[in-house]
Amino acid sequence: MSALAALDLARAATLHGEAFAPVGERGWTRQELAELLATPGVAGQLLQAGDRDVGFALHRVVADEAELLTIAVRPALRRRGAGRRLLDAVIAQVREAGARSLFLEVAVDNQAARRLYETTGFQIVGVRAGYYRRSDCGAADGLVMRLTLNDQLPPRRMVTT
């Protein structure tokens, strides 16, 4: 796992296109990814196996809230733990940056992603009707999900006498 750098953006655009084309959603271009990565608070992770790109994720932290902007794993390399590794890396990074919540949006019919998020502890906190426009089959509702972070009380100090 490594931080997504400007030089990786063409590869990230390829991964994004491959991941989202099957569900009729347009992949983000290299230019769009470059503009996002240049936005304050945005960072990404690239997962590789040897010299093969496996997947990537992008997130944004603003004050104590974070958002998962995208996560994508190459179709032929799914169900081997890559998505969870990327999500865990995002969670560790935003927690480190001081975020108390991580939000995301997911299409209501995206069973794979929903299951990944639910098993990580995300909960549905809102619905956006018709949020995902599809090239082939109309629109799907978007679910807004939230994972609460950093909600434990600080550890109690041991007092010794």
Ligand X SMILES: CC(C)(COP(=O)(O)OP(=O)(O)OC[C@H]1O[C@@H](n2cnc3c(N)ncnc32)[C@H](O)[C@@H]1OP(=O)(O)O)[C@@H](O)C(=O)NCCC(=O)NCCS
As measured in angstroms, the least distance from the Cβ of 119 to ligand X is 5
As measured in angstroms, the least distance from the Cβ of 155 to ligand X is 30
Burial class (CB in 10 A: 0-12, 13-18, 19+), 157: exposed
Choice between 26 and 115, CB closer to ligand X: 115
Tell me: does residue 106 bind ligand X (CB under 6 A): yes
Tell me: does residue 102 bind ligand X (CB under 6 A): no
Tell me: does residue 79 bind ligand X (CB under 6 A): yes
Report the site for ligand X in 40-69 (rule: CB under 6 A). none
As measured in angstroms, the least distance from the Cβ of 160 to ligand X is 43
As measured in angstroms, the least distance from the Cβ of 108 to ligand X is 11
Joined together, the tokens standing for residue 3 give 């931080």
Rounded CA-CA distance 83/150 in Å is 22
**Range list of β-strands (E), 13-138:** 42-49, 52-62, 65-73, 101-107, 123-133
Residue labelled with tokens 């082939």? 136
Tell me: does residue 116 bind ligand X (CB under 6 A): yes
Rounded CA-CA distance 146/119 in Å is 13
Tell me: does residue 82 bind ligand X (CB under 6 A): yes
Choice between 71 and 94, CB closer to ligand X: 71
Rounded CA-CA distance 20/68 in Å is 16
Joined together, the tokens standing for residue 81 give 């733990």
Rounded CA-CA distance 139/136 in Å is 9
Tell me: does residue 26 bind ligand X (CB under 6 A): no
Output the residue with the shortest Cβ distance to ligand X: 83
Binding ligand X by CB under 6 A: which of 73, 90, 102, 143?
73
Binding residues vs ligand X (CB under 6 A): 19-20, 71-73, 78-84, 106, 110-113, 115-116, 119
